[in-house]
């Protein structure tokens, strides 16, 4: 098991990529703390993982609330005395034309998608510094490389994630803390369906990919596993693009 007895926190873990990460990590022996704004759903997800014999705990976590972030960190520290992995996955992606965008919509996007990573990392990194080890993986988006209409606020927030990850890696490297970033492509999730992505749009996206198949949460989860284990011990400050060959750089 690549993560045996490691303690991991995963945000946005009730559904989609976050749930996929939590499940893969649990299979690899991690003790997983799942945080999400959907309290009942995240508790059910954690219970499902425990039902398979793993250790998982579901917590209410609104990543715009410092107190809720700190509560999950404290729960992990109180139980296990360490935090080895942080996966910053929580995010929102409502569409909005720029000419109709309000300042409130802009601010909410930055608060959830970018400032939340400051909150979680600020709560977790002192413990990683004290133990002189840790892995942080921040989830950005392939749209950072593409630019996407009706998502100016989203793409800006995801660009901030890339820059944040690089600079944080520089600062924390002397403490043996790895900070990396993933830019997922079009992932088949419940959230995608909820915002009304059509089959025509899906076919168009697949057409732009080199691998002609849908990507699933486990495709991202497996790369999170790589970046959270000794398999990537020589890597930090990097952005890995997992998009079935849509963008190449």
Over residues 8-32, the pLDDT tens digits come to 999 999 999 999 999 999 999 999 9
Structural domain includes residue 157: yes
Residue 30: inside a domain, yes or no?
Answer: yes
Looking at the structure of the chain, the number of domains it has is 1
* Mean per-residue pLDDT, 86-90: 98
Whole-model pTM over 0.75: yes
Is 79 inside a domain boundary?
Answer: yes
Domain interval for residue 233? 7-242
Q: Does residue 228 sit within a domain?
A: yes
CB 81 within 8 A of CB 133: no
pLDDT-derived band at 201, boundaries 50, 70, 90: confident
| Burial (Cβ within 10 Å: 0-12, 13-18, ≥19) of residue 135 | buried
Is 15 within the bounds of a domain? yes
CB 137 within 8 A of CB 86: yes
Give pLDDT, residue 194. Answer: 66
CA atoms 29, 164, 89, 73: torsion sign: positive
CATH number at residue 22: 3.40.50.720
pLDDT in the model for residue 197 = 76
In the sheet with 55-60, reading across from the earlier edge strand, the strands are: 55-60, 31-36, 7-11, 85-88, 134-139, 177-184, 239-242
Per-residue confidence band for 192, with pLDDT thresholds at 50, 70 and 90: low
- 93 in catalytic set: no
Annotated catalytic residue, options 33, 80, 93, 154? 154
Higher-pLDDT residue of 199 and 244 is 244
- With pLDDT > 90 as the criterion, what percentage of the chain qualifies? 92
Residue 195 confidence (pLDDT): 66
**249 occurs within a structural domain:** no
């Amino acid at each position: 098991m690549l993560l045996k007895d490691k303690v991991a926190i995963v945000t946005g873990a009730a559904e989609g990529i976050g749930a996929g990460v939590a499940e893969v990590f649990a299979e690899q022996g991690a003790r997983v703390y799942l945080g999400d704004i959907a309290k009942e759903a995240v508790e059910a997800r954690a219970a499902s993982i425990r039902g398979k014999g793993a250790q998982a705990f579901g917590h209410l976590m609104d990543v715009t609330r410092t107190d809720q972030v700190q509560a999950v960190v404290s729960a992990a520290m109180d139980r296990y005395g360490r935090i080895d992995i942080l996966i910053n996955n929580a995010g929102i992606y409502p569409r909005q034309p720029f000419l109709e965008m309000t300042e409130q919509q802009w601010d909410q996007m930055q608060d959830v998608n970018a400032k939340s990573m400051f909150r979680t990392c600020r709560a977790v990194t002192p413990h990683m510094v004290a133990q002189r080890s840790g892995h942080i993986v921040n989830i950005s988006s392939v749209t950072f490389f593409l630019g996407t209409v009706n998502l100016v606020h989203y793409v800006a927030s995801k660009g901030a994630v890339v820059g944040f990850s690089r600079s944080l890696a520089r600062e924390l490297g002397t403490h043996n803390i790895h900070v990396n970033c993933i830019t997922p492509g079009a992932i088949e999730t419940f959230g995608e369906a909820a915002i009304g992505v059509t089959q025509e749009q899906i076919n168009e996206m697949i057409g732009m990919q080199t691998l002609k198949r849908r990507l699933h949460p486990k495709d991202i989860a497996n790369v999170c596993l790589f970046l959270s284990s000794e398999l990537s011990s020589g890597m930090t400050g990097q952005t890995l693009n997992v998009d079935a060959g849509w963008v190449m750089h």
